[in-house]
């Protein structure tokens, strides 16, 4: 590390850490970025997990929030987004599938008598546009960006998905909505789960569910290249175990969860604040499988072959039962499975004629259970013959995910439970939860509002607070993006 003084030190290079560092660096602050792993990116990592030539995203693949987030819209990283013909599909038994298309009207038309309900809920959320997205992703900003739209959204989104889902009468639309809401990794009978479903489905219409050409690592690489051009210093392979190990700087941004914050800064944190951090709750984990395939997944409904994301859970009632079991600490026999066939949008991820596919299910926090058989049974249910196309598989349970990224505590990919109690009070209830009681120390991970996802808003907000708190450049402004 350079002996020269830094205006800010950022620990962690996930989307939040990278966005926070870049916002500061391009505003003329001298930034040091420190990463524990040998490679940068956190959840934006792409590796050959199965066979040579097959590129798999270790965590985030489908990135609607990267297009919708005010942070990424402001930074406008130069990456190649690729959109699948169909953002998402939800197969049902009997060969039919619910399709969520880019066009809201076409999606509604496919839901028949539920079309009006889809237009009035998901369609209305999509039509509210970026002002509503900005309100939801920056929930503590005052005044709200779209107060009227936010009230309308809350009238539906604050409810459990099982309640709002009753607006849909037919199995296809009801199942599609349940699958969207299940991204919350919560019991779908819990408050605010409908909001997760509404927002994600609406983003499929408004910005799409794209992947990055070549893998999500390229988004991280684009941000890192900008950081270097802005004069930032970057250190990898350096795990910070105590704040005293870092060079002194007026501002320190930590892209870590409350557990790591307590580990590296406990001697500096007020006792009351530390006790509140200790009460922070982590959510269920994930069991993930990556596949190298010799051909596309053989879906019963050929229309599913065009979908980037596939929700494999059967009826809405089955999805609800699966997520409720996980919330109660159980392993469902028929888990709700999220699948991604990235090659539909980006053939470069596999050798010619071959395909990648990943699938994960939710499991209790810290689970050590191998869910391979249960996950593959759900895939085979809607794609008979899938196993015959597998060239190689790679499994990661909660322990492996946490070993890869320490922020995924117990396999929790959202940086903590996103239920109503922690929806805004992340990691504690405060007007500016990114600011800790220690002067100049900020938290910028997914454990801060608005929670999980590749949106960078934790880093954006923490960097903005640091500058508002008086972080002025020590040196002449660094070179900015040309």
Q: For the segment 314-351, what is each residue's pLDDT rounded down to a tens digit?
A: 999 999 999 999 999 999 999 999 999 999 999 999 99
* Cα angle: 270, vertex 276, 281; to 5 degrees: 145
The span from the CA of 454 to the CA of 346, in Å, is 19
Report the pLDDT value the prediction gives residue 144, as an integer from 0 to 100.
85
Phi and psi (nearest 5°) for 89?
Answer: -135, 150
The angle formed by the CA atoms of residues 310, 18 and 460, to the nearest 5 degrees, is 90
As a whole number, mean pLDDT of residues 30-51 equals 97
* Mean pLDDT, residues 205-218 taken together: 98
> How do strand 8-11 and strand 251-254 relate by DSSP bridges?
parallel
Q: What is the 3-state secondary structure (H, E, C) of 45-69?
A: CEECCCCCCCCEECCCCCCHHHHHC
User: Buried (b) or exposed (e) across 410-426, using 16+ Cβ within 10 A?
Assistant: bbbbbbbbbbbebbeeb
- The token duo for 97 is 């599938």
Burial of 404 (0-12, 13-18, 19+ CB in 10 A): middle
Q: Give SS3 for 146.
A: coil
| 391 vs 2, residue with greater confidence | 391
Helix (H) or strand (E) holding 228, with range, is helix 217-229
Q: Provide the pLDDT for residue 482.
A: 36
DSSP-assigned letter for residue 184? G
- pTM for the model stands at 0.94
Give the pLDDT confidence score for residue 4 in this predicted structure. 62
Interval 163-188 mean pLDDT? 98
Q: Please report which confidence band the pLDDT of residue 476 belongs to, taking 50, 70 and 90 as the band edges.
A: very low
| pLDDT number for residue 423 | 85
Cα-based distances in Å from 59 to 52, 87, 216, 303, 453 = 19, 18, 9, 26, 10
pLDDT at 84 over 60: yes
CATH architecture of 8-44+215-280+416-468: 3-Layer(bba) Sandwich (3.50)
Among 66, 178, 198, 195, CA closest to 123: 198
What are the phi and psi torsion angles at 71 (to 5°)? -65, -50
Tokens representing 272 are 């009351």
Burial status of residue 460 (CB atoms within 10 A of its CB: 0-12, 13-18, 19 or more): buried
User: pLDDT at position 474, please?
Assistant: 66
CATH of domain 64-211+284-404: 3.90.660
Residues 443-454 have pLDDT tens digits of 999 999 999 999
283 CB-near residues (< 8 Å, 6+ apart): 185, 186, 365, 412, 414, 416, 417, 418, 419
Q: DSSP labels for 91-118? A: E-TTS-EEEE-SSHHHHHHHTGGGHHHH
Question: Which sign does the torsion angle of CA 202, 207, 212, 217 carry?
Answer: negative
Angular region, 86: left φ>0, alpha ψ -120 to 50, beta rest: beta
**Residue of 218, 216, 247, 243 lying closest to 233 (CA atoms):** 247
The DSSP secondary-structure symbol of 435 reads B
How many Å apart are CA 49 and CA 44, to the nearest integer? 14
Distance CA 78, CA 335 (A): 37
Where on the phi/psi map is residue 235: left (φ > 0), alpha (ψ -120 to 50), or beta?
beta
- Locate 261 and state its tokens: 């914050």
Q: What is the C-alpha to C-alpha distance for residues 180 and 194, in angstroms, rounded to an integer?
A: 9
Instruction: Give the integer Cα–Cα distance in Å for 96 and 103.
Output: 20
Spacing of C-alpha 354 from chain mean position: 27
Give the relative orientation of helices 129-137 and 147-157 as an angle to the nearest 10 degrees: 70
Q: What average pLDDT does this structure show over 51-73?
A: 97
Q: Alpha-carbon torsion 381, 385, 389, 393, what sign?
A: positive
Planar angle of CA 125, 161, 93, nearest 5 degrees: 100
**What are the structure tokens assigned to 19, written together?**
């966005």
Quote the mean pLDDT of the chain: 95
**Average of per-residue pLDDT across 400-408:** 96
Closest CA to 298 of 387, 171, 200, 398: 387
Q: At what angle do helices 15-25 and 457-468 cross, to 10 degrees?
A: 30
Stretch(es) of the chain classified as CATH 3.50.50.60: 8-44+215-280+416-468
Q: Mean pLDDT, to the nearest integer, of 259-279? A: 96
């Amino acid at each position: 590390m350079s002996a020269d003084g830094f205006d800010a030190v950022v620990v962690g290079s996930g989307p939040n850490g990278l966005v926070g560092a870049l916002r500061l660096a391009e505003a003329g602050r001298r930034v040091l970025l420190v990463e524990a792993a040998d490679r940068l990116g956190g959840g934006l990592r792409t590796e050959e997990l199965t066979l040579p030539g097959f590129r798999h995203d270790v965590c985030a693949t489908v990135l609607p929030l990267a297009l919708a987030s005010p942070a990424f819209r402001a930074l406008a990283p130069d990456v190649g987004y690729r959109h699948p013909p169909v953002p998402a599909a939800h197969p049902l038994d009997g060969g039919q599938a619910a399709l969520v298309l880019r066009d809201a009207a076409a999606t509604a038309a496919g839901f028949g008598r539920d079309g009006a309900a889809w237009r009035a809920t998901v369609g209305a959320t999509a039509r509210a546009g970026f002002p509503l997205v900005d309100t939801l992703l920056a929930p503590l900003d005052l005044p709200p960006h779209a107060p009227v739209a936010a009230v309308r959204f809350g009238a539906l989104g604050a409810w459990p998905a099982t309640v709002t889902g009753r607006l849909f009468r037919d199995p296809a639309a009801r199942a599609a909505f349940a699958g969207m809401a299940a991204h919350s990794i919560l019991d779908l009978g819990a408050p605010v789960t409908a909001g997760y479903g509404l927002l994600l489905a609406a983003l499929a219409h408004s910005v799409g569910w794209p992947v990055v050409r070549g893998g999500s690592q390229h988004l991280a690489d684009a941000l890192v290249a900008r950081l270097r051009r802005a004069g930032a210093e970057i250190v990898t392979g350096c795990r910070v175990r105590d704040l005293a190990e870092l060079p002194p700087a007026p501002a320190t941004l930590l892209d870590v969860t409350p557990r790591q914050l307590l580990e590296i800064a406990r001697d500096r944190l007020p006792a009351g604040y530390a006790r509140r951090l200790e009460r922070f709750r982590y959510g269920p984990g994930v069991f993930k499988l990556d596949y190298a395939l010799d051909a596309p997944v053989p879906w019963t409904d050929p229309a599913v072959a065009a979908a980037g994301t596939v929700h494999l859970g059967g009826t809405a009632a089955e999805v609800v039962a699966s997520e409720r079991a996980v919330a109660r600490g159980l392993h469902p026999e028929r888990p709700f499975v999220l699948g991604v066939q990235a090659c539909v949008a980006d053939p470069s991820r596999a050798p010619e004629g071959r395909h990648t596919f990943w699938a994960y299910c939710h499991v209790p926090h810290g689970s050590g259970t191998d869910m391979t058989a249960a996950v593959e049974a759900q895939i085979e249910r809607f794609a008979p013959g899938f196993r015959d196309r597998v060239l190689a598989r790679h499994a990661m349970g909660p322990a492996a995910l946490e070993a890869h990224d320490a922020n995924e505590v117990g396999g929790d990919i959202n940086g903590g439970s996103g239920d109503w109690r922690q929806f805004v009070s992340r990691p504690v209830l405060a007007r500016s939860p990114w600011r800790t009681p220690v002067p100049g120390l900020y938290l910028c991970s997914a454990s801060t509002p608005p929670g999980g996802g590749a949106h960078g808003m934790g880093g954006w907000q923490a960097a903005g607070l640091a500058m508002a708190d008086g972080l002025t450049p020590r040196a002449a402004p660094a070179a900015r993006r040309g």
